[in-house]
Structure 1
């Protein structure tokens, strides 16, 4: 699903759930607000790791500070606004009814998501990608860091909530080695090849999935147009 489709689906589900909850006697219930984004802007942004030198120099592997603050504030506001005494079971039942009205949108993109995730992992073992990984790892060792793969540093648990100088220094070395080895592009190209092969092998199933998603989105648009 595109970001726009996901947003529309969320709004439609919220509208249906709110109608259901009010009919069930929970007039104070309202859906949580749509959260502002923090982090990746697209499906490929940060898929292969960091790339924004200006952001890395300030935040290491962390997202933009203002975006993160806005996201966290919205989460806290949603929690604070949650009415007391509303059973979770009632929300779940109303959510399930909303899904029945719209249809299972996930069934439309589940296969595509699985194939994409599988290609992402398999691409690391492609010969050209494996070579680029090894070159990147060697480059990092030259700077005093022991990481095997380009996303290992991002996942280092010691780079937690707060940004540290150690994290920024590591991320800057990471970025330097990425530029030197071209590892993100090599990885991306390997994944593209694998995804194209999967597209050809699963063309019919993917077309069927797209049709299911299109049906769900038609129902979403009907809900948003007020035809509940």
Structure 2
């Protein structure tokens, strides 16, 4: 996977601070292993520990505004793979976990599921909260930003830029929907995506949309500080439980 550009790495929203970054998620995977290993031994199975990197960057919003990187557009068109959203370090951990699971016998896999469930209960003790509202707010602020007059003006400029290049689309998401079906990207799709990225840069639509959506998210946070504080506290408890599990390994 091509490494993200600075522009893609810098797409960080206020809501992001209320979810664990990939580096912390890897710590919870390791903590789960620390709890599962003795549980599996009691059931007569070995449980190999995954190797975790010292640092795993997060760039989950890389495709938030569609394709914004020329190299991604040239290679994938609008068929950008999900692997673009995580670092090689994180993907390496997931590969190890999937490989370990695939190597288990049916009996061992069943016992592992029981041990992982027990470990999950330990790690989430005092850390349970609902992220459903956060997910809903992500969707609503994303849609509201698209309706903002500044974003609409930038979208119209993007559309005019695309038309001048020979592509007739009213919005970037309309172009992505047309070409987003399964299958390999065609030459026409790649040409469209490349022009899409050029026009996004020329019109500044990503920066305008980004600042608008950030403002909307900040407004939602200020409206319900209690809910967002609960999210932060839940994450803090979860990581505390993970550190305690790791300290006993």
TM-score between the two structures when normalised by the length of structure 2: 0.70
Change (3 A) 1:110 1:11: farther
- For 2:14, the equivalent position in structure 1 comes to none
Give how far 1:34 is off: 6.9
- For 1:167, the equivalent position in structure 2 comes to 189
- For 1:23, the equivalent position in structure 2 comes to 42
- For 1:181, the equivalent position in structure 2 comes to 203
- For 1:12, the equivalent position in structure 2 comes to 31
- For 1:84, the equivalent position in structure 2 comes to 105
Q: Distance in 2 between matches of 1:163 and 1:76?
A: 31
3-state DSSP of counterpart to 1:206 = helix
- For 1:157, the equivalent position in structure 2 comes to 180
- For 1:198, the equivalent position in structure 2 comes to 220
Correspondences of 1:51-90 after superposition (within 5 Å)? 51-61=68-78, 62=80, 74=95, 78=99, 81-86=102-107, 89-90=110-111
Q: Distance in 2 between matches of 1:154 and 1:75?
A: 33
Q: Distance in 2 between matches of 1:82 and 1:182?
A: 49
Question: Cα deviations across residues 55-97 of structure 1 (Å, max 9, x unaligned)?
Answer: 43344343699x89x9599479727842232365533322221
Segments of 5+ residues of structure 1 without an aligned counterpart are none
Question: Cα deviations across residues 153-173 of structure 1 (Å, max 9, x unaligned)?
Answer: 44523463x454233211111
The reply on whether 1:209 has 2:226 as its aligned counterpart is no
Give how far 1:147 is off: 3.7
- For 1:221, the equivalent position in structure 2 comes to 243
Q: CA RMSD in A?
A: 3.6
Q: Distance in 2 between matches of 1:77 and 1:96?
A: 17
- For 2:115, the equivalent position in structure 1 comes to 94
3-state DSSP of counterpart to 2:214 = helix
TM-score between the two structures when normalised by the length of structure 1: 0.76
Q: Distance in 2 between matches of 1:17 and 1:148?
A: 52
Q: Distance in 1 between matches of 2:175 and 2:52?
A: 31
3-state DSSP of counterpart to 2:172 = coil
Whether the aligned pair in 2 keeps the contact of 1:108 and 1:211 (CA below 8 Å) is no
The reply on whether 1:46 has 2:69 as its aligned counterpart is no
3-state DSSP of counterpart to 2:173 = coil
Q: Distance in 1 between matches of 2:191 and 2:96?
A: 30
Q: Distance in 2 between matches of 1:33 and 1:81?
A: 17
Whether the aligned pair in 2 keeps the contact of 1:159 and 1:167 (CA below 8 Å) is no
Whether the aligned pair in 2 keeps the contact of 1:17 and 1:98 (CA below 8 Å) is yes
Whether the aligned pair in 1 keeps the contact of 2:30 and 2:50 (CA below 8 Å) is no
Change (3 A) 1:140 1:41: farther
